[in-house]
Amino acid sequence: MAVFDTGPIDNRDAPRTTQLTIRLFNTGQLPALVGIEVYQINPPGGGFTSETLYVVNLVPLNPFGAPDSGFTLDNVFADLDVFGVRVLTSGLGANDIAVTVLEKGTDGQIFKEHVLEGELSRIQELLNAYVTNIFSDTVTVINTGTNTILTTIPLPAGSFPIRIAITPDGSRAYVANQNNGTVTVIDTATNTILTTIPLPAGSFPRGIAITPDGSRAYVANQGNNTITVINTATNAILTTILLPAASGPREIAITPDGSRAYVANINDTVTVIDTATNTILTTIPLPATSDPNGIAITPDGSRAYVANFGNGTVTVIDTATNTILTTIPLTAGSFPGGIAITPDGSRAYVANQGNNIITVINTATNAILTTIPLPAGSSPFGIAITPDASRAYVANITDTVTVLDTVINAVIGTLPPGDGPQGIAITPILLF
């Protein structure tokens, strides 16, 4: 068992904390049971004091990489003179739980962040961001703990690497190379190329996603209107799924249960594939001129968010019915591309190439929470969020990667990876 405690928090001075957000995250490969206690100290002064528990929650956390490996308790009452937060963990993964406590005001403004026992620092040191650079035919590896470039992996000339996906165990990265019609497989332990998988002629691959069990990679081929399915154990092609003519599959995302793949097509549709049979279940029409360029699925699998480059919107799809729930208009001139959703499913981050901003969407209300301006000329394309939800990394076509703090939704760093960064994915450096 492990115990995490903020200790008494003196809240008698202005500005006064009125509410808390408590975030938990399992960083390990074993399940854990977590108890959350919020307590009041009474009386608040010196001498004898007693604790009064006023919030008690018991939460099971699944292993890292699985659904429900994180939990957020929001809007916890804290308008008290002295209070504290205690988290008790048990089970096989008890020592792998990271805890963050945010103190907030009545308007939601964050006053202070408590990272209990320094656990989140340990998580970030275990994570790398892999960035594809289309013009230099390279993949840059960034250590997210130090925000420094670890290495650069050269690919064959003319590869034009555009998108990248990481296996759930973090052992390999799969890179979709648009111009030479291949998929490069990288060993993340050594950051060297394991093999190169040639795709059928005319594939022009754009998007790539890996099933939650890590057994297959799905590649969206815009050039020949197909989806290539790769067996990741052998790195051989299992099958090819033919989409309707002129579909132009551009991006792909797979549901957390691995049962379906959602493909964003340039002909203003989303194709839904049954991954058990590798057949098309249905096609969802989007509004004309949508030109979807990015897609992400919530951790609970209930919704797919589609970033529409053509009309500057985000379409929200109900995956139970495969119908459109709503359409979220973005700021004029956005031209959205990449989209990523936080591990707790509470927010979607959209990279807008046209106006150099990141739009943050509240997925509970499907309303825009805020926009984060990037430096002029950034041209953001790809975006990925760390598993602890503390950082977002944005690949900007104009040769930079922007680091965002997702607690305060602000830029905290800029890195120069390679020439034309587009795709980005984050993975543990080593297996647990």
Q: Helix or strand or coil: residue 146?
A: coil
Compute the distance between CA of residue 184 and CA of residue 138 in angstroms, rounded to an integer. Answer: 11
- CB-hemisphere CA count at 13 Å for 310? 14
- pLDDT value at residue 3: 82
Question: Under DSSP, is residue 26 helix (H, G, I), strand (E, B) or coil?
Answer: strand
Residue 118 pLDDT more than 50? no
- What is the predicted pLDDT for the residue at 49? 53
Q: Tens of pLDDT along 275-310?
A: 999 999 999 999 999 999 999 999 999 999 999 999
Radius of gyration for the chain, computed over Cα atoms and rounded to the nearest angstrom = 22
Give every CB contact of residue 252 below 8 A, 6+ residues apart in sequence. 207, 208, 209, 218, 219, 220, 227, 261, 262, 263, 264, 295
Confidence category of residue 48, pLDDT binned at 50, 70, 90: very low
Q: What is the pLDDT of residue 396?
A: 97
Q: What is the mean pLDDT of the chain?
A: 91
pLDDT exceeds 70 at position 24 = yes
Range 39-46 average pLDDT: 69
What does the pLDDT read at residue 119? 40
In the chain, what are the domains?
2-122 (2.60.290), 126-428 (2.130.10.10)
At residue 267, the pLDDT reads: 97
Token digits of residue 236: 């051989």
Q: What is the mean pLDDT of residues 329-353?
A: 95
CA-nearest of 164, 201, 153, 195 to 179 is 201
- 79 has a pLDDT exceeding 50: yes
CA 225, CA 228: separation in Å to the nearest integer?
10
Q: Among residues 210, 207, 228, which one has the least CA distance to residue 173?
A: 210
Q: 2: pLDDT confidence band, cut at 50, 70 and 90? A: confident
Q: What percent of the chain stands above pLDDT 90?
A: 70
Minimal CA–CA distance to 340: which of 323, 358, 354, 324?
358
- The reported pLDDT for the residue numbered 189 is 85
Please give the torsion angle defined by the CA atoms of residues 374, 378, 383 and 388, in that order, rounded to the nearest 10 degrees. Answer: -40
**pLDDT (0 to 100) of residue 278:** 98
Supply φ then ψ for residue 22, to 5 degrees: -115, 120
Q: What is the mean pLDDT of residues 409-427?
A: 93
> Three-class SS of residue 325?
strand
Task: Read off the pLDDT band of 116 (50, 70, 90).
Answer: confident
Q: What phi, psi does 122 have (nearest 5°)?
A: -65, -35
Q: In the chain, pLDDT over 70 holds for what percent of residues?
A: 94
CB atoms within 10 A of CB 414: 15
pLDDT surpassing 60 at residue 47 = no
pLDDT at 112 over 90: no
Cα dihedral across residues 376, 378, 380, 385: positive or negative? negative
Q: What is the pLDDT of residue 309?
A: 97
First and final CA of the chain: distance in angstroms? Answer: 19
Compute the distance between CA of residue 135 and CA of residue 302 in angstroms, rounded to an integer.
36
How high is the pLDDT of residue 214? 92
Tens-place pLDDT, residues 309-326: 999 999 999 999 999 999
pLDDT attached to residue 93: 83
Q: How far apart are CA 103 and CA 384, in angstroms?
A: 26
Give the count of beta carbons closer than 10 Å to the beta carbon of residue 291: 19
Average pLDDT of the segment spanning 393-417: 94
Query: What is the mean pLDDT of the segment spanning 135-149?
Result: 92
Which of 58-72, 197-211, 280-294 bottoms out in mean pLDDT, i.e. has the lowest?
A: 58-72
Cα torsion for 289, 229, 204, 170, to the nearest 10°? 90
Rounded to whole angstroms, the Cα distance separating 120 from 123 reads 5
